[in-house]
Amino acid sequence: MDNRLPRLDAAWPAPAHVRAFTTLRTGPGVSPPPFDRFNLGLRCGDDPANALENRRILRQSFGLPDEPCWLNQVHGADVFLAKAAGAVTRVENGEPTADASLASDAGVVLAILTADCLPVLFCNTEGTEVAAAHAGWRGLAGGVLEATVRQMRSPPSDLIVWMGPAAGPQAYEIGAEVRDAFVSVHAADALAFVATRPGHWKVDLYALAQWRLRDAGVQRIYGGGLCTISDPARFYSHRRDQHTGRMASVIWFGS
């Protein structure tokens, strides 16, 4: 993999044969404004042909061992089990409907698309199992992280997690329905919300994700603190721009 290519490497103590990073909007892509340049999403308004070409560039230029397992993300909590080449890795339409995926076969590349939602990558300490989860506020409230931990074969105490760039707590303002989705279930989640104006709060997705992971038994949690809304030079942000592209957070392990 070319270290000069624009990407954000996962900063975590994963085994050396586990590779994980988030792409940046400034990659070697072909998408025109407002999706410039390295949009990898097929459903955000860019010409799908551009996104498919960018996906080809991603695989070729970033040294991916296989085509990623792309998901049809719906802000839910379903987890898809991805298999190695030769096994069934896709559903009929080419992209399984799920918001997380996991793999225990070497060379299977998992991918999550985001543009403010929180990408969360998992591996075990031996580097024999990986997972990726798409955790916006709906997914967090719906338990996508807990579902991912449950579906992994490794015990939670054996997992390492990296949280990629997402809408940050200084910029991400939400309404009462979002706060209620959390606080009505876990009153302590109120600590992740800071009131701004009547009926509105700033929310800390990173804190909400960490609390859920720790409640699920995961202790080694890294990343956080990079705000997609506040960094237009590097990150896509749907909240900031509305019409924009999608970054990919990818993870796999070698044999």
CB-count burial class (<10 Å; 0-12, 13-18, 19+) for 110: buried
Cβ atoms 98, 90 nearer than 8 A: no
pLDDT of res. 84: 78
Mean pLDDT by 10 residues, the chain (255 residues): 76 98 95 96 96 96 95 97 64 78 97 98 98 98 98 97 98 97 96 97 98 98 96 97 97 93
Confidence at residue 163, expressed as pLDDT on a 0 to 100 scale: 98
- Closest listed residue to residue 51, CA positions, set 216, 239, 244, 254: 244
- Which amino acid, one-letter code, is at 84? A
| Per-residue pLDDT at 85 | 62
Beta bridge partners of 7: 23
What pLDDT was estimated at residue 27?
Answer: 87
Inter-residue contact 240 to 117 (CB < 8 Å):
no
Rounded to the nearest 10°, the torsion over CA 164, 145, 126, 6 is -20
Tell me the per-residue pLDDT of 136-170, one tens digit each, with 9 for 90 and over.
999 999 999 999 999 999 999 999 999 999 999 99
Q: What is the pLDDT of residues 186-214, one digit of tens each?
A: 999 999 999 999 999 999 999 999 999 99
